Amino acid sequence: MPENTNHQEKNESLTRRRFLKSSGIALGGLAVGGALGSLIPFKEKTNVENVKSKKTENYNLALMYFTQEQFRMVEAATERIFPADDNGPGAKDLGVAYFIDHQLSGDWGFNSREYMQPPFFKGEKVQGYQGRIRRREIFDIGLRELQNHSLTKYKKNFIDLSEEEQDDVLTDFAEDKVNLTTISASGFFTMLRSSTLEGAYSDPLYSGNRNMEGWKMRNYPGSQMAYTDVIDKKFTVIPPVSLKDHLGH
């Protein structure tokens, strides 16, 4: 939707200009509003013809961590957590499985900014996660056990189960009715659930929330620069913009 993109960009530039006008930043003195100068997008004018002639492929629709089988299972499971309905797309069409795959390949998947030093002891629930296993390994084990549980209970692969059967298997995980030795079944399910919401509603930059459809469903305006015009008004629907729009392309 090149026209649409261009339209949004114009709006965005206007918002930024309006801000610069309305903020009343006093110049002189010891000025510290450092980002102000950089609030105007890089390119203010975009040739509509140019945008039309350049069809952009989404090269992010590939996998960094999951096997194809894991990916299909995550697609199916997250769709049950956040299904397509009258409101709009579900996890699958929002790209949630790509989001989770890409997240697992980085810091989050390796728990690299978390304390992972030994010794490891089982603690009280209120003391939080105390395992030695990192998120990408939790997904490996969790998905493997999801498959095993499906095969045991229904003699079918998870992705071949009916929606009701998939819900049943996921409920067994959520309620710790499956006994796993290495990880907590409900702990894995909780992670799957929270990363589904992250994939549905984070900036499209991260491969989920495709075309900002997650935001549109709940009238969330995304990454706006300013709400000074609506903050004291009645409910206002504002078409969303993403971080991409801030770079002006």
Q: Are 165 and 173 in contact (CB under 8 A)?
A: no
Binding region for other proteins (CB under 8 A) out of 5-13, 66-74, 153-161, 226-234: 226-234
Q: How far is the CB of 154 from other proteins (least distance, A)?
A: 19
Determine the size of the site formed for other proteins (CB under 8 A).
80
| Least Cβ distance, residue 151 to other proteins (angstroms) | 23
- What x-and-dash track marks residues 53-92 binding other proteins by CB under 8 A? ---------------------------xxxx-x-x--x--
What is the smallest separation between the CB atom of 97 and other proteins, expressed in angstroms? Answer: 16
Q: How far apart are CA 88 and CA 161, in angstroms?
A: 23
231-239 CB contacts, 8 Å cutoff, 24+ apart: 239/8, 239/11
Nearer Cβ to other proteins (49/85): 85
Of 2, 6, 223, 248, the one binding other proteins by CB under 8 A: 223
List b or e across 4-43, with b for residues whose CB sees 16 or more CB atoms inside 10 angstroms. ebbebbeebbebbeebeeeeeeeeeeeeeeeeeeebebee
Closest contact distance (angstroms) between CB of 88 and other proteins is 8
- Which range, of 1-9, 47-55, 57-65, 224-232, touches other proteins by CB under 8 A? 224-232
Determine the Cα–Cα distance for residues 166 and 159; give it in Å rounded to an integer.
8
Binding flags for other proteins, 167-186, as an x/- string (CB under 8 A): x--x---x------------
Residues 97 to 156 in contact with other proteins, rule: CB under 8 A: 107-108, 111-117, 119, 121, 123-130
Backbone φ and ψ of 235, nearest 5° = -50, 130
Tokens representing 19 are: 């801000």
In the bound complex, what is the minimum distance in angstroms from residue 201's beta carbon to other proteins?
4
- What is the footprint of other proteins within residues 19-38 (CB under 8 A)? 19, 22-36, 38
Q: Which is nearer to other proteins, 2 or 230 (CB)?
A: 230
* Residue found under tokens 């492929």: 57
CA count, 13 A, side-chain hemisphere, 225: 24
- Asked if residue 151 lies in contact with residue 98, where contact means CB atoms within 8 angstroms, the answer is no
Asked if 233 interacts with other proteins (CB under 8 A), we say yes
Closest to other proteins by CB, 54 vs 234, is 234
- Which two structure tokens, joined as six digits, stand for 13? 């530039």
